[in-house]
Structure 1
């Protein structure tokens, strides 16, 4: 967890330094008088995401019955326990400013009914992707009850833990809904891919009658995204949100979006902070783009 805190401090410090450079030499009127930002921004930008994760587990204890090596009856009670981890990701964001022709034509056909406000004429507003590293762990406690020939029970307990280091790739499409001045709700879906580059030992921590299985090194998942975005300034945004795996694609694991380790399943949820910074268009002293493009860009960015 320490490296996540350090990276977050570096990002915030770098952003603050950049902001201070942009504010140097500006008068009080510039700060409080609403000086207009004349920068021409592109529809593309850089995104940095980081934060903690946590593996949620089935709260119920699962019991397995059988016999040990000597033929004595034994019951194994398996209790999975979630553990915290962390992730970091760097990539890009690409905004779609043009309306969908299909939706636009449908809205025009509706006539006076117009657009459905929460949908608008865009199928999605942003596509973003990233490459990163995700450190995911969990633990499991198994309690054994053995019955000897005289019918007397004895008990034993063992605990095993693991942490895997995954190299990740992700792509997500998002839609925005304005909920307050400077705040937007983001809802999205996408795919994420993980490769276990730093696997924990794939071995049982204790001999057990419970079925043991270790997830393959490569995984693919369908995920959902929910976030709340704060506008820092035009072209710079902070999002506080969640990335929730919804369907396991590979290894299928009965379509569960979980990591199977030891005798249990672990569902990793990401709690993320994302910074998006738009690039500024290079100018040779002339206006860039058509008047219609500039108008659409300004209207969109002001509404963000």
Structure 2
């Protein structure tokens, strides 16, 4: 057996090993002869994020509204307060870029009375400036609705949004361009189902926002079939607010003006008119009191011809 093994080893000739040519390396890696790595997740993932922040010296009520809006948007990022000055646009654009966001909701409070909302697509624009009225927070309303946090909302718009170009632009910013209220589908913090509705309706040139929970029966025997809308009910959750559009700009936080609301009256003008009206009324009341005091202090003498025709 030992001789056979030695003869077999001797009969086998040594084989020369030929080194393979090394593939050329490019800037994008080893391409020649190396199979490209296939993408493990071929599904498109929307990584749009919204920055939600406010200005300094904001009141507690408006701050609670901002926190309510941030709780409804699982793809948002919150940041510290920004000084409300003319240079806030450059500061916010830099902050948005550092936070890796594509859009912004900026709550700007002035004189601790008036609240303005900037809805901005960064860095190229457009941007819309609103005056916020009729503010009601979740804590204030104490509504009975309660949807799960992080679920995707259904966006509904009134038919007025398709009539004028300015409303079409605002609708596009809300839904697609910025994904401000339209939550991305494959976001890591978003739950893959719908259980509440965002309602945007136009009344008297203002956008009214409402948030409703989709309520269905809880018994297993009363399960709702797909498309069975007759058994579903809507319960309001909140918050509530009204947006009055002021201007639409071409770029981020400024630029050329695409639209200016001709019916917009600033809160300062409204307060000035109220003061003027209050001043006129107070002048009338003071004049009446002066007249009465004058009549009491200077009574008229009795007229000798007053009883002439009584007999």
TM-score interval w.r.t. the shorter chain?
under 0.3
Q: Which has the higher contact order (CA 8 A, sep 6+)?
A: 1
Higher helix share: 2
Q: Rg: which structure is higher? A: 2
Higher strand share: 1
- TM-score, normalised on structure 1? 0.21
Q: If the length of structure 2 is used for normalisation, what is the TM-score?
A: 0.21
